[in-house]
Structure 1
Amino acid sequence: MCLTILWRSDVNNGQTSRHGDIEMALQVPRSNSDMGMEAFNKQIHEADEQVDKLYVLLQKLKEANEESKAVTKADAMKAIKKRMETYVDEVGKIALGVKTRIEAINKDNLNNRQKPGCEKGTGIDRAMMNMANALTKKFKNLTIQFQTLRQRIQDEYREVVERRVITVTGTRLDDETIVHMIETGNSEQIFQQEILEAGRGQ
């Protein structure tokens, strides 16, 4: 005996909202199939909560990036950069966990088709697949947004470092050298030197 699942996915103008993306109402009769459906509901809910955490981190990363553009002190820049790196690390860990959860959900959905009345194409099967697809779409959208933002941050910071090098040394370095400076932390030294030079000119 299969359960009836009502589902809804809210997408406004192509943007993913934090809340109300996946809502479910279960009519749960007392049967041997209860535990399986309750587990599915729990999996969806827990994965959706993790996706919401990704959204929050994405917003924090955007805010930190904007904040970094107005910073004039080396110590403040270093602190913001460290905070942004922490956000990126957290996103990576959570995203890996969500990916694993979604894979498990999809596997369970396929296994559920072996139950009488839950075969492929039945109402319960379509509902479960739709819920899993809605969650997957929400996750992928946030992943794309994060990757786009991260690339933009890297490009913008590389341009800033390049300008600083020219200001301090009068020399334009190639991209490989600029990237090496960023990776080794030497870009922060250039930033400090730029501030010192500006102070001497006053």
Structure 2
Amino acid sequence: MNDLMTKSFTSYVDLKKSAMKDQDLEAGLEHELQMQSVQQSDHNLTSFLHEAELVKTEMNSIRETLVQLESANQESKTLHNPDALKANRRQINGDIVTVLKKAKTIKARLEEMDRANAESRRLSGCKQGTPVDRTRTAVANGLRKKLKELMMDFQHLRQRMMSEYKETVGRRYFTVTGEEANEEVIEKIISSGTDGQGGEEFMSKAIQEHGRGKVLETVVEIQDRHDAAKEIETSLLELHQVFLDMAVMVEAQGEKMDDIEHHVMNAAHYVNDGTKNLKTANEYQKQSRKFKGKKSWPELVGASGQVAVDVIERENRRVDAFIVEEGSIVTTDIRCDRVRVFVNGNNFVKDVPKIG
């Protein structure tokens, strides 16, 4: 969805530039300043959309790494050799470090996009509620929503890894002692390892019943899994903290996106602004037809009040005409109140009475 929005907005920018180039240039300096403002806002919007694409690329990369982490976690369940467990732990930690770096980059990019949006609202034609501002806001909110989903996926992975680790410890405990370990015993082993109080009780009981040699390999495996779980848990907590730093902002934006009343009020505001803009555009269109020349009507018609006129224009129609006297015109087939006349290359508009 975000990809379609971004491509549509990019096409909108290109079409808008093309349309502005085709507009009438008779407005002079005012039109030129307006064009510069539009070009600046379009350039800023294009840069913003490019930045959004970079953020989406980073998120997709994190999503791929998440799949690798889940695969490595599944693989760890079948490993018993200490060296294999250590290699698996290094792979998982390496992936988490990579995700951590990318998450910090995404956080910085989103914060920069927010600052850019605030700066953009200061430009003419980009104020709050304008199409450009709504475009930027929609893209930023879409990225935050996608980031929130990514945060939840990593949180679920973290919870699942710790839950599966508890199950593994319980199975190993049963293998050595022949008894089901209760939650308290498992928590003691997880919190302190085989060197802690829970681990000492576990080893003492296992050695008494089965002998040291038989349980040593299982105990070493449990200790390796404990070390790996603690290291991974630390890395995942650090990653989760980065996500939490953005959680408040994501939630606040999400509530605003889901606020129907807020959207209805904004829609009414946008419609009113659109009506005003249409009226303003209509006025600009009328003004663009006027010629701001140096010569006045008396100068053009001359002292005698009679002068030949090349053509007379009413809207898109042109007919041959002559000015008979100031304030009156005679044409072959038009009676009009306002005309545009061309005299020796000069162009101006004059109000004249109709001739019966």
TM-score by length of 2: 0.44
User: How many angstroms apart in 2 are the aligned matches of 1:102 and 1:22?
Assistant: 18
Q: CA deviation at 1:103?
A: 1.5
Q: Are 1:90 and 2:98 an aligned pair?
A: yes
Q: Structure 2: any 5+ residue segments left out of the alignment?
A: 18-35, 200-213, 221-356
Aligned length: 175
1:139 to 1:149, Cα distance in 2 relative to 1, 3 A: same
Q: 1:56 aligns with which of 57, 64, 75?
A: 64
1:106 to 1:61, Cα distance in 2 relative to 1, 3 A: same
Higher relative contact order (CA 8 A, sep 6+): 1
Q: CA deviation at 1:107?
A: 1.9
1:21 to 1:56, Cα distance in 2 relative to 1, 3 A: farther
CA-based RMSD of the aligned residues comes to 3.1
Amino acid corresponding to residue 153 of structure 1 in structure 2: M
Q: Are 1:70 and 2:53 an aligned pair?
A: no
Amino acid corresponding to residue 119 of structure 1 in structure 2: K
Q: Are 1:39 and 2:47 an aligned pair?
A: yes
Q: CA deviation at 1:34?
A: 4.8
Amino acid corresponding to residue 42 of structure 1 in structure 2: H
Q: Does the residue aligned with 2:125 lie in a helix, a strand or coil?
A: coil
CA contact (8 A) 1:68 1:80 kept: yes
4+ long deviations beyond 6 Å: none
User: How many angstroms apart in 2 are the aligned matches of 1:90 and 1:177?
Assistant: 30
Identity %: 30
1:192 to 1:40, Cα distance in 2 relative to 1, 3 A: farther
Larger Rg: 2
TM-score by length of 1: 0.73
Q: 2:218 aligns with which of 185, 194, 200?
A: 194
User: How many angstroms apart in 1 are the aligned matches of 2:79 and 2:178?
Assistant: 23
User: How many angstroms apart in 2 are the aligned matches of 1:78 and 1:168?
Assistant: 22
User: How many angstroms apart in 2 are the aligned matches of 1:38 and 1:144?
Assistant: 31
CA contact (8 A) 2:45 2:136 kept: no
Q: Are 1:23 and 2:6 an aligned pair?
A: yes
1:162 to 1:21, Cα distance in 2 relative to 1, 3 A: farther
CA contact (8 A) 1:168 1:193 kept: no
User: How many angstroms apart in 1 are the aligned matches of 2:124 and 2:135?
Assistant: 16
Q: Does the residue aligned with 2:40 lie in a helix, a strand or coil?
A: coil
1:34 to 1:123, Cα distance in 2 relative to 1, 3 A: closer
1:113 to 1:97, Cα distance in 2 relative to 1, 3 A: same
Spell out, residue by residue over 1:105-153, the C-alpha distance to the aligned partner (whole angstroms, 9 max, x if none): 1221122111111111111111111011111111111111011112211
